[in-house]
Structure 1
Amino acid sequence: MPDQLQLQYKNIKGNVKGPTWQFSGLLLLICLFGLIIYTTGRDKLNTKLYLSEPEIGDIYKYRVYNGNYSTMKLVSITQDSLFLSLNDYEISKRSRIYKIDKPENYPDTYFGYSKHEISLMEKDGTILEINRD
């Protein structure tokens, strides 16, 4: 490129800036990551709260020993124990637990766990999350 043309190119390039809307995608991406971080933190705090103050109807999402995922529904509470109805179904992906969380999937059979056992299950990662409606 001739020197005179290179000089014009550098002058034009130095004076022209890209439009600010070009960065809107980056801003949206940052907002999305911020929202994900916020909701994850809130879910962890809610799980701790629901673990310390259980209520009938709480849904416990947990990892089954074989690597699948399922849910338990809290049906009764005593001073030191929780009685849960285990979901009849398991699913291979954690993100799809909602598909098996239906009232008809919980039998009338209940299993009792001490509050200490439930706390240990949450600490070791067996219980992933507790949801309350």
Structure 2
Amino acid sequence: MPNQLQLQYKNIKDNVKGPTWQFSGLLLLICLIGLVIYTTGRDKVNMKLYLSQPEIGDVYEYRLDNGNYSTMKLMNITNDSLFLSLNDYEISKRSRLYKIDKQENYPDAFYGYSKEDISLMEKEGVIFDINRK
């Protein structure tokens, strides 16, 4: 390339900038990753809080031995025990637990668990989330 053209090319290249909106997708992706990290950390903090201070109506999401998922609702609390009503239904996908978390799916029968048992189930990953409404 002749020197004259190289000089013109360099001048044009130095003066022309890409539009800033081109980087908006990257900024959006960084914000999304930050939001996921924040909510994950907040969810873990809430889980510890809900385990240490249970309230009637808390819904525990758990994994069954057969690989399906279900929920249990906290119905009564004593000094060392939690009484839970197990959901009548189970579902194969963890993300769809909201479909079976309905009041009519919880029978009147309660099962008692010690607070230590519930904590152990959480540490082993059997109970993976607690929802408080």
Shift of residue 57, structure 1, vs aligned partner: 0.3
Shift of residue 6, structure 1, vs aligned partner: 4.2
Given the two structures, how large is their TM-score scaled by the length of structure 1?
Answer: 0.92
Deviations 1:101-124, CA, capped at 9 Å, x for gaps: 111111111111110000000011
Shift of residue 73, structure 1, vs aligned partner: 0.1
* Structure 2 counterpart SS, 1:128: strand
Residue 63 in structure 1 maps to residue 63 in structure 2: yes
Residues 90 and 6 of structure 1, relative CA distance in 2, 3 Å threshold? farther
What value does the CA root-mean-square deviation take over the aligned residues?
1.2
Greater than 3 Å deviation, 4+ residue runs = 4-7
Shift of residue 28, structure 1, vs aligned partner: 1.0
Residue 23 in structure 1 maps to residue 19 in structure 2: no
Which residue does 2:33 correspond to in 1? 33
Which residue does 1:51 correspond to in 2? 51
Residues 7 and 98 of structure 1, relative CA distance in 2, 3 Å threshold? same
Deviations 1:28-83, CA, capped at 9 Å, x for gaps: 11111111111111111111001001110000011111111111100011111111
Residue 131 in structure 1 maps to residue 131 in structure 2: yes
- Runs (5+) with no aligned partner, structure 1: none
- Runs (5+) with no aligned partner, structure 2: none
Q: How far apart, CA to CA, are the structure 2 residues paired with 1:68 and 1:59?
A: 17
Shift of residue 7, structure 1, vs aligned partner: 3.9
Q: Sequence identity, in percent?
A: 80
Q: Which amino acid aligns with 2:62?
A: Y
Q: How far apart, CA to CA, are the structure 2 residues paired with 1:11 and 1:25?
A: 29
Q: How far apart, CA to CA, are the structure 1 residues paired with 2:130 and 2:16?
A: 54
Shift of residue 15, structure 1, vs aligned partner: 2.2
